[in-house]
A = this chain, B = another copy of it.
């Protein structure tokens, strides 16, 4: 591997191996394949796929990739060194990674004397032999080897000579990359900087390339990786969204833009960088974890602006309140509607909804006024943009009345000896002057209400058949007055293509939810029957 550009870095993704160690995350082989193909498109050069020697599912994963290989990326299996006092050639774990038929393999070994003696219960010399033999054997089988030096920083701090000896052994045996791992995540950037410099200084003439692998236990994983790169490391290991054991691994979604946009290193192509937000959301969808809305660079709130002056300034010159252009990482600017909103927020929010308001029009001030009134009652439009759109249409006299709810009843019964509570809702709705009475059941009063309303309306508005409630959140306001406190309900609805969120507020939790459900139906209908 020849380095031609001094600013070229090699990314190494371990979402599929270290990332899956995150508590609560589990993936199928199909999930892993989908993620691998997506990372390949993103331009990640090394993708660690798993530990086939320890996990039979991973054997299958590598086999499937042989049938339909990645386009650009090297897929890499991961394995430990041979066990103490065995021969590498007899080690079934190594057989398993050879069977993965990849060009590259990653081997991890112990750097910290304490772990050799207390963990492996072997001698320091035998550990060196394990590292050397394993790598030599894999080289003899035609593999290119990345060596992960586990617990490197802790080991170096306790016994630098021994730690350096393990690296030398791996290098002599033919490893092309030596990756320094902060396995416990306890190291701080100034230490990383110092220790990486020592390694690079010491070995300058003979050493292959140095890599960095960090964990987030001190909320330093990304900062530590940057510190290592600035000290000369050329490979950066991490995971999408920072998934990983305990507090996670270094987050590639933060690392890549920091390295590329701020420090001028080259990691992936520009047309790939703007896929980053998409990849982050894709991976969180596949592993079924809610995306972190406040994540740096790729979070939904990462470029969200609140205050009034703030918004008018950002629209005049985005540089004033944004550290990068959101589009560079495939994210977008968002103007948030909140208690502190001024007119300019209302205008720009309306614009994203396709409505041009005039700043000097008294109607615009009325909208702001009405919004503030509702906010003081506990409404909050930040997360309920569809309700805000309805408010604007109403102020403009453009809120089409699809239907009118004349009343509803909900009954919840827990009857003797029964395990579950059933809810039954009855609604009376008027459409075009005609009253409809409908009833439906559900496993909760809100589900029952929603079902009854849709049943009543679907004959008039057939698109309602595709609507569904996709998320439901409840927050009790000024909670200190117990159950008579005000309740704020947020309902997210969808039609298979688009999702929208509406809000309701009331002292009665059923009433608040009902308001949000009704507004959700109404907004959904507007998607089909737009006001002029």
By a beta-carbon cutoff of 8 Å, the part of chain A in contact with chain B is: 21-24, 26, 28, 30-31, 54-55, 112, 114-115, 118-119, 151, 183-190, 216-220, 222-223, 226-227, 230, 245-248, 251, 254, 257-258, 262-263, 288, 290, 293-297, 299, 301-304, 306, 309, 313, 316-317, 319-324, 336, 338-340, 380, 382-383, 405-416, 420-421, 423, 428, 442-447, 450, 468-485, 487, 491-492, 506-511, 513-514, 517
Contact = CB atoms under 8 A, between A and B. Distances in A.
Contacts of A480: 28, 30, 290, 470-471
Contacts of A254: 218-219
B472 A483 contact: yes
Contact of A115 (B26, B320, B338): B320
A508 B24 contact: no
Contact of A263 (B151, B188, B309): B188
A484 B442 contact: yes
Nearest to A323: B186
Q: How many copies does the complex hold?
A: 2
A186 to B, nearest CB: 2
Contacts of A28: 477-480
Contacts of A226: 188-189
* Among A189, A323, A468: residue with most chain B CB under 10 A: A323
Given A28-B477, A423-B508, A23 B445 contact: no
B118 A320 contact: yes
A189 B293 CA distance: 24
A259 B508 CA distance: 47
6 contacts: A118-B313, A119-B309, A245-B301, A443-B508, A447-B484, A482-B492
Contact of A413 (B186, B309, B324, B407): B407
A9 to B, nearest CB: 16
A412 B317 contact: no
Contact of A218 (B323, B479, B483): B323
Contacts of A412: 408-410, 445, 508, 510-511
A509 B478 contact: no
A114 B320 contact: yes
B508 A420 contact: yes
Nearest to A478: B28
Contact of A482 (B183, B218, B468): B468
B118 A317 contact: yes
Nearest to A316: B118
Given A245-B306, A246-B303, A296-B247, A445 B445 contact: yes
Contacts of A380: 26
A480 B33 CA distance: 12
Contacts of A491: 482-483
Contact of A24 (B383, B405, B444): B383
A511 B420 contact: yes
A475 B288 CA distance: 7
A240 to B, nearest CB: 14
Given A23-B293, A119-B309, A407 B411 contact: no
Contacts of A508: 412, 420-421, 423, 443-445
A420 B487 CA distance: 13
A421 B189 contact: no
A180 to B, nearest CB: 16
B247 A302 contact: yes
A532 to B, nearest CB: 31
Given A189-B223, A382-B23, A115 B313 contact: yes
Given A247-B296, A415-B407, A472 B477 contact: no
Contact of A296 (B31, B218, B410): B218
Given A220-B223, A508-B423, A294 B471 contact: no
Given A317-B118, A407-B415, A412-B511, A487 B444 contact: yes
A487 B443 CA distance: 11
A470 B484 contact: no
B323 A185 contact: yes
B383 A320 contact: no
A485 B144 CA distance: 39
A275 B81 CA distance: 41
A324 B21 CA distance: 20
A114 B510 contact: no
A429 to B, nearest CB: 11
Contacts of A383: 23-24
Nearest to A513: B483
A371 to B, nearest CB: 15
Contacts of A24: 293, 382-383
B218 A220 contact: no
A217 B476 contact: no
Contact of A227 (B26, B184, B189, B471): B189
Given A23-B383, A220-B223, A446-B509, 9 more contacts: A23-B294, A23-B338, A188-B226, A245-B301, A246-B294, A246-B299, A420-B508, A450-B482, A472-B482
